[in-house]
Structure formats: C-alpha cells, structure tokens
Amino acid sequence: MANHKSAIKRIRSNDAKRVDNRYYAKSTRTAIKTIKKSDDSAEQKTLLPKVSSMIDKLAKKGVIHKNKARNLKSKLAKRVLRTK
C-alpha cells in the first residue's frame, strides 16, 4: 500500500482513468464491428469518419499505439471503399 498522500491520490486517479480508457476502447471496438457487419455500403461510408475519429482519439490519449490506429483505419477504409 502507498504511504504518501500523493501516491494514494495517484492510485485513485489511475483507477478512474483505467475505467474511462476501457470504456472508450470498448465502444470503439463495438463501432468497428458495426461497420464490419453492416451490409449497407452507404451506412458504412457514413460511419467511417466517426469511427476514424474515435480511433484517432484513442491513439492521441495513448490508449492504443499510433501504428495500431493507422492499421485499423487503413483496413476499415479498404473494406468500406472496396464494397459496392
């Protein structure tokens, strides 16, 4: 257990941040799955910018690595733009 006040506060704030990060990461994964499962190409094209923005935010906050974000966005764009 932490002995200093600042260390105790850091533990509390890290727990809160972890919960937030898990929520944002899970909601982004759900949005990605929604795009992948959708059969309507118009719906996919409208969702792509929103999901790309969500992925960028995760990378900016350090929840996921920037290269993983690039790979996810690239694969999604290929998938959406390939379907007709």
E strand or H helix that includes residue 78: helix 66-82
Least Cα distance to 79 among 36, 21, 17 occurs for: 36
Q: What digits encode the pLDDT tens for the residues 4-62?
A: 999 999 999 999 999 999 999 999 999 999 999 998 989 999 999 999 999 999 999 99
Give me Rg for the CA atoms of the chain: 17
Q: Which residues contact 23 (CB under 8 A, 6 or more apart)?
A: none
Please give the model's pTM, rounded to 2 decimal places.
0.85
Secondary structure percentages of the chain, helix, strand, coil, to 5: 85, 0, 15
Domain annotation for the chain: domains and CATH numbers: 5-82 (1.20.58.110)
